[in-house]
């Protein structure tokens, strides 16, 4: 491929992405999972424009997301995962990406002005958007949580404080790894019903306490010897993180530890590449969020009183883990 063709191909990739996002928003993949169907039947079910829907379906076929035979559209192995009914559905993440789409379209303005002027934090958005976000975090985390838990030595810890724990994906993974561990999931009142449901599904309700609060302002629950910040620090400014570390240090039992799961950047801030791109996601979706280097995290943790700060797990996704200890 000639250099002009290669760069143009990369710039056009957003088109296929938008086609898939729209189809997911219309829930086309769930309908086709129930029954392969024609464009005429689908537009009657969806109440959309028939010509536009047909073009969308054909574009999905051209992108090898759907199959088409004798005018009947079928899911492929990939698009089956976009059905809401698939046991490992990724639809919540795709719906979240559709929400993120609008923020990314303002990137030029953000670079010019420093932030999106009319930015609405995720915690202030409507229930449907917040639920899609929490669902997306579960999709992203369900396998990663199990992998990270498998890599960590959780023996000796008695009680986990999962701060901003959402629906409890990491709590479940940690409790599966360590049968003697109990936990507190600490998150906003709007989020806790989702955690309650997931704990019930995983038969862990008797090992998990749900506590309502805002981790950026409220006092942390006491009595825990292990604290987890999973995909939290990138949402915050450095000042917010320093305050958060200090309040965690105050709440933890002496000898307890903090675990931070996130992108941890090299000092050049270009690796891992996913972290560099995710920093842009924070630029357009938060007021002060960013991805941070190990030296930045280490300095802030030590300022809060933690010692023995170490990068205990490296990764190319958001699967790096930093650990630090509250002295006895």
Q: Nearest to residue 251, comparing CAs of 232, 224, 212?
A: 224
List CB contacts of 299: < 8 A, sequence separation 6 or more: none
Q: What is the pLDDT of residue 62?
A: 97
Q: What is the pLDDT of residue 295?
A: 98
Distance of CA 206 to CAs 120, 210, 255, Å? Answer: 36, 11, 26
> Which residues of the chain fall short of a pLDDT of 70?
1
Pairing of strands 307-313, 320-325: antiparallel
| Burial (CB count within 10 angstroms: exposed 0-12, middle 13-18, buried 19+), residue 175 | buried
User: Does residue 221 contact residue 183 with C-beta atoms inside 8 Å?
Assistant: no
Q: What is the pLDDT of residue 1?
A: 66
User: Does residue 100 contact residue 129 with C-beta atoms inside 8 Å?
Assistant: no
Distance of CA 250 to CAs 58, 59, 169, 187, Å? Answer: 58, 55, 25, 18
272 preceded by a cis bond (ω within 30 of 0): yes
Name the 3-class secondary structure at 138.
Answer: helix
Q: What is the pLDDT of residue 247?
A: 97
List CB contacts of 136: < 8 A, sequence separation 6 or more: 92, 93, 95, 96, 97
């Amino acid at each position: 491929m000639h250099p002009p063709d290669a760069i143009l191909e990369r710039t056009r990739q957003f088109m296929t992405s938008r086609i898939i996002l729209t189809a997911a928003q219309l829930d086309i993949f769930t309908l086709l999972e129930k029954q392969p169907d024609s464009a005429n039947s689908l537009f009657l079910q969806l109440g959309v424009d028939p010509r536009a829907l047909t073009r969308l379906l054909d574009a999905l076929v051209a992108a090898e997301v759907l199959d088409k035979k004798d005018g009947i559209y079928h899911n492929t192995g990939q698009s089956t995962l976009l059905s809401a009914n698939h046991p490992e559905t990724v639809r919540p993440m795709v719906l979240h990406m559709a929400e993120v789409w609008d923020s990314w379209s303002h990137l030029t303005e953000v670079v010019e002005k420093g932030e999106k002027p009319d930015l609405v934090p995720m915690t202030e958005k409507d229930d449907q958007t917040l639920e899609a976000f929490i669902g997306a975090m579960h999709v992203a985390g369900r396998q990663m949580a199990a992998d990270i838990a498998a890599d960590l030595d959780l023996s000796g810890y008695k009680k986990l404080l999962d701060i901003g724990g959402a629906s409890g994906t990491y709590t479940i993974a940690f409790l599966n790894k360590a049968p003697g561990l109990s936990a507190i999931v600490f998150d906003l009142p709007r989020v806790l019903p989702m955690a309650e449901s997931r704990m019930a599904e995983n038969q862990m309700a008797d090992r998990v306490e749900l506590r309502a609060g805002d981790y950026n302002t409220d006092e942390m629950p006491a009595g825990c010897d292990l604290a987890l910040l999973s995909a939290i620090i990138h949402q915050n400014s450095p000042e917010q993180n320093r305050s958060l570390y200090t309040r965690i240090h105050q709440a933890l039992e002496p000898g307890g530890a903090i675990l931070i799961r996130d992108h941890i950047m090299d000092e050049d801030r270009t690796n891992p590449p996913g972290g560099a791109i995710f920093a842009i996601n924070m630029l357009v979706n938060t007021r002060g969020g960013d991805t941070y280097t190990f030296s930045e995290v280490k300095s802030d943790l030590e300022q809060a009183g933690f010692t023995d700060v170490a990068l205990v797990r490296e990764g190319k996704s958001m699967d790096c883990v930093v650990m630090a200890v509250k002295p006895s």
